[in-house]
Each structure stands twice: as C-alpha cells, then as structure tokens.
Amino acid sequence: MPYLTGGVTATWVDHLRALADAGADAIEVGLPFSDPTLDGVTIQEATDAALARGATVRGILGDITGFTDDVPLVASTYYNLVVRDGPERFCAALRDAGISGLIVPDLPLDEAGEAADAAASVGVDLVLLASPATPQPRLAEIARRSRGFVYAVSLMGTTGERATVAESAATLASRIKGSTDRPVLVGFGISTPQQAVEAARSADGVIVGAAIMRRVLDGATPDDVGADLAKMRRALDQERDQP
C-alpha cells in the first residue's frame, strides 16, 4: 500500500491514479496537518508543501470524490483535524468522498473510543497501530479493536527511509498475527522492493510512504512513480509465487 500526501502538488490526483494503475492494493492518502509529530523529514516536507499550496481536508476530499472504485483509499491524519470537525462529521465526510479507512497515528487505543464509534457508524474502518514497544495483552486488544487491518509500526522511530528493515518488524508482525486473523500491514522505513519483500514475509502487506514522497518532492511524474510501484509490486508477487 503506497502513501501519498493529499494536495502535495497541483496534479496529485494523477499520481494517485498512477499508483492505482501500477497495482496498489490500496492507497493511504495523507491529509496534511501543520504539526506531524510522528513523521520524519520527507513527509514533513510533503506536508509543508501541501499546506503551502492551500490544501485542506475538504479540498482533498473533493479532489478524490469519484476516484476509481477498484482501489480502496485509506485516509491518514493527526487527531486535531478529526476533532476540529468532530469525529462524526469527519468520518461521514471521508465516507462521502469514497474513503474506506482512517489511520490516526497520534490516537492510541486508550483514546480511540469516540473516533472508533463515529467511524463504525458510517462504515469507515479505524485502523489502529501497534509498535514494537506494545506489550502483549495490549497488542491483542489493539488487534481486536482495529478495523480493516492492523498497522504494524516496524520500528521505534518516525516515518522515513532507512537502509535496512528493522529486525523488530518481523517480530512485531508475527506477534500481531498470533493475535488476530485480520491482515497485518507493516509500515515505516520500507523504501526498496527488496525491503518490501523482506517485510512482507511475516506480514500481509507493506506500506511505503517516504520513499514515494521523496520521488514526488523531487519532481517525479505520475509515470515515474507508477513505474517504481510496479517494480515493487512485481518483486512482491514473485516472492509470493515461490514455493
């Protein structure tokens, strides 16, 4: 599942479409917030670029309304933007724009009740995150209450490209899979096809964010980005087809 910051460029929807066409299972659309406390420099930069362009939640949702139905979209943002509208209005707006899931990195299990109820009531999946520091009983509870999939944060750190996949990624994914039948997607620090393959071994899928956004910020065209994702898709498919 690739990640794209909503509104990062004037033609960001073309990038979105290219990612869909390149074989994304789903796409994470970032709704930019002024203070992205869990993001590393690349997604911070993408966020700043989007906000500088005047991107708003409403504008981004407008841009994607009517987007192709065959690739599910999952919104991700910080909780302040959810609170601003109120969780119910916010989730309803997501659903109206055709978004099926929501990731809120600064909303841990303990604070998620209100948002979970609001999301559920309009049929949006509130995805919860688990981290390598999450202890066992809590991990089970996160897995139980997460909807859509469980987001496995691969390492203790922020989003962003890394040279290698953290060992903690496989451990965490296995621990989550031991607690639930829900799909587990691994994110944070996965940049290359090889890293994706490695991370996917113990999980149901991977999330690639900063690596794509770095390319977009450096001026990559929708075709460029699509080609990158296609490469990763192929690597993952080959791995899966092996015995």
Q: By CB under 8 A, name the binding residues for other proteins.
A: 33-41, 44, 48, 51, 56-58, 78-81, 83-85, 105-111, 128-135, 138, 142, 153, 155-158
Q: Report in angstroms how near the CB of residue 157 gets to other proteins at its nearest.
A: 4
Please pick, among 14, 21, 25, 28, the residue that the annotation labels catalytic. 28
Closest to other proteins by CB, 213 vs 225, is 213
Tell me whether residue 88 is one of the annotated catalytic residues: no
C-alpha 199/C-alpha 113 separation (Å) is: 30
DSSP state of 20: H
Is 38 in contact with 158 (CB distance < 8 Å)? Answer: yes
Is 14 in contact with 58 (CB distance < 8 Å)? Answer: no
One-letter amino acid at 35 equals D
Q: Report in angstroms how near the CB of residue 84 gets to other proteins at its nearest.
A: 3
DSSP state of 14: H
Q: Report in angstroms how near the CB of residue 131 gets to other proteins at its nearest.
A: 4
C-alpha 27/C-alpha 37 separation (Å) is: 21
Residue whose C-alpha is closest to residue 63's, from 24, 5, 127, 116: 5
Closest to other proteins by CB, 137 vs 243, is 137
C-alpha 206/C-alpha 190 separation (Å) is: 8
Tell me whether residue 39 is one of the annotated catalytic residues: yes
Closest to other proteins by CB, 12 vs 79, is 79
Is 197 in contact with 234 (CB distance < 8 Å)? Answer: no
Q: Report in angstroms how near the CB of residue 99 gets to other proteins at its nearest.
A: 17
DSSP state of 2: B
Closest to other proteins by CB, 101 vs 105, is 105
Please pick, among 14, 21, 25, 39, the residue that the annotation labels catalytic. 39
Residues involved in catalysis: 28, 39
